[in-house]
Structure 1
């Protein structure tokens, strides 16, 4: 008797499970392109972020090429300059600097042109050229730093606008449904993510370029000190 009751219960359980399986909704997959997803953030936010990202990429590439060019130096450049100065071949030294076309060469060329004047005047002339060269190396780095700071704030502006949109939709609908929350919430999240991505990339690019400029500045200072040491040798 107990065995018969147990078999009947198992049969009822299997039928209920089959019924629940038949009634379960089929899962659906929604395919959304990246462009469509980005534009859900609102064109008035996404377009400025796109422009900032393009500007950051351009500045990074342009400054990287310029700084790497400044770091290139002819083999034994300083040794040749020393030999020319010691031999009194100042024109040859200036020609070598002119053909090198680097910040260090332009700085030393100014110093060579001042040979014969007091050492302090030569040092000041070199320092002035060095400051101008550093200014050229740091060109647009301030803009890149601004992009790194502004992009996340623009993204947060999109977040605030998206949340305001959520409350307005709720107020108009008079009730709270998932469809009332989805559009504005999605906009808020997308703009935040994109703003942070652009800001992080800009920040990393800025720090990388600053480190490269510091390397050039260090080489310029080392070369100028070495040049002045040559001029301060006895007999110069």
Structure 2
């Protein structure tokens, strides 16, 4: 008798249901799956831009030739302006290109020198900001697409319920709603990190801008230094 009690099969309905967000994401209809794939593709696209820009900006910020300004100062004090220009061309760094613009305009008014260096600095900053506008669009597009999928999913759920004959199970309503809300959750899950990535890159670019501003100030001090 005890053995018969021990070997009685468990009720399948008593088994615990495991929550799977992946299953929720792709549990909807064709339209919902298309929206979900689009949102996930935006997330992958944002990751690609972030890492590509991050490596490039870090590489530009790590370029710190402490002898660059000293060598240029020595050449300018000796009157070797063309040698200083050639030296900057050989370095081929953002700092060297900015200094080159200033060196080639020595003898002109200070305003012309500052304007030339600022223009070159803006060019260097624009190189760092390449594709950042695309990254900035992801935090706004992803939640909107997720919300669109949610609204359409809820509409289709209530439409199916209104056309159902007889009584319906609450499971049908709850299943349609949590599947639709999964669209919004996915959109937010993509938008929040993308917004963080964008602001992190902007912070690094601001650091570069501050760096070239100090560089321009040091250069002006050199050319205005009394002989």
Aligned equivalent of 1:27, options 10, 14, 17? 14
Q: Is 1:221–2:208 an aligned residue pair?
A: no
Q: Is 1:57–2:47 an aligned residue pair?
A: yes
Paired residues, what number?
A: 216
My pick for the range that moved more, 55-64 or 181-190, is: 181-190
TM-score (norm 1): 0.81
Say if 1:158 and 1:187, in contact at 8 Å, map to a contact too.
no
Q: Is 1:145–2:136 an aligned residue pair?
A: yes
- Alignment deviations for residues 158-182 of structure 1 (CA, whole Å, 9 cap, x no partner): 1111211221121121434134214
Question: Any unmatched runs of 5+ in structure 2?
Answer: none
Alpha-carbon separation, structure 1, partners of 2:111 and 2:54: 34
Alpha-carbon separation, structure 1, partners of 2:50 and 2:111: 38
Q: Is 1:187–2:174 an aligned residue pair?
A: no
- Of the two, which has the highest radius of gyration? 1
Q: Is 1:231–2:223 an aligned residue pair?
A: yes
CA shift at 1:125, angstroms? 0.9
SS at match of 1:64: helix
Say if 2:24 and 2:179, in contact at 8 Å, map to a contact too.
no
CA shift at 1:56, angstroms? 0.4
Q: Is 1:93–2:88 an aligned residue pair?
A: no
Alpha-carbon separation, structure 1, partners of 2:22 and 2:147: 20
Alpha-carbon separation, structure 1, partners of 2:114 and 2:85: 17
Bigger relative CO (Cα 8 Å, ≥ 6 apart): 2
Q: Give the superposed CA RMSD.
A: 2.5
Alpha-carbon separation, structure 1, partners of 2:112 and 2:10: 92
TM-score (norm 2): 0.84
Equivalent residue for 1:209? 201
